[in-house]
Amino acid sequence: MRRTAVLGVVLLALCVAGCGVRHVPLAPPTTTAAAPAPAAASAADVASGPALSPPLTRRPAGRTIHVGALPDALAADPRAHQFAVAIHDPSRLALVDSRSGRVTQRVAVPVGQERHPAPAVFLVPAETGRHAVAVQPAPVTPAAAPQPRAALVLGRTFVTGPRGDSVDVLDGGRPTAHFGSAPAALASADFDTRLAVLSSARRTLELFDPRTLRVVATTPAGRRPTGIATFGDLVFVSDSDGDAVLAYSTRPRLHPVARIPVGGAPYALAVDPLRRDLYVTQPARNRLTTISIARFAAVSSLPTVRQPDAVAVDSATGTIAVAGHRDGLLQLVTAERRDAGLTRIARRPD
């Protein structure tokens, strides 16, 4: 196992089962390697990152809240009706009430002994009623580099390595293994029994056994796959250069089932399991499109904040949150306000 900055990874469990998200003190990393100086983004970093957004031409739907600089990750807790937003300079988790839109708390994250204390923050949905937040002290991330990723599968936490060229495995918050996969995104798949790894460099979607770390299936994943979301046996991939969302099924084997054109260099994805909707951000157009999972079709879209690099949904209320990386804004679109600015997409004839 490599002795790199990943040894500084800690795991924070936010208790949300019936009590809401509460502040949990974070201990500093027990082991921290010397951090390298910030470097220019690699070709792999650029390949897996979002498209740059143009200036806004329409007012974002819903309401906007200033949460802090450079929001780049979101997680939703439907039980507590809260969104956790990763922000930077300084690095914090902003906890936002999904109903009132009020920032209820700002949770500091630990920093290592580096000269550039700007931790990378991973937000990952965990088992029912909880969220796991993995925080890795790191130097300032290059502007073009994608945000780090994480997934929790069968009790093991998987995070993208500090150089984006591998997946690191944590058991009980401690790094125990790693494997090379050049990941752009990670997700728990196949009813939470497999680790789905998306590679922009290789343009592939792979399924791993979370216990043995062996590849059990692989398939091509478009021209430039960047984002991933799952629902039961379905895996959705945003193909930024292909201007489409690709749908796969893991049963009886991994195979493609649909290609859904959306345009706008689709990037971040989020699933509403109650309404069976998939939300995809389109940074090149500053828009958010809703895809019906049952129909594998785009049904509506609405204007967003600039540079919509992350999206999450409070499935209990139907409120959608979109993070505007450029201006430090969080956009909240409630089910009641969704019709304002919404554009219906006509179904193409079969």
pLDDT band at 63 (very low <50, low <70, confident <90, very high): very high
Show the tokens assigned to 183.
């990941």
pLDDT band at 86 (very low <50, low <70, confident <90, very high): confident
Segment of 69-83, 103-117, 176-190, 215-229 carrying the highest mean pLDDT = 215-229
Distances (CA, A) of 329 to 85, 123, 307, 324: 10, 18, 10, 5
Burial class of residue 99 in the structure, from the number of CB atoms within 10 Å of its CB (0-12 exposed, 13-18 middle, 19+ buried):
middle
- Mean pLDDT (whole number) for 149-176: 82
Can you give the three-state secondary structure of 154-206, one letter per residue?
CCEEEEECCCCCEEEEEECCEEEEEEECCCCEEEEECCCCEEEEEECCCCEEE
Global pTM reads 0.82
Instruction: Report pLDDT for 291.
Output: 97
pLDDT at 321 over 50: yes
Instruction: Report pLDDT for 201.
Output: 86
Name the percent of the chain lying above pLDDT 90: 51
Coil, strand, or helix at residue 217?
A: strand
Our CA dihedral for 254, 256, 261, 264, rounded to 10 degrees, sits at 30
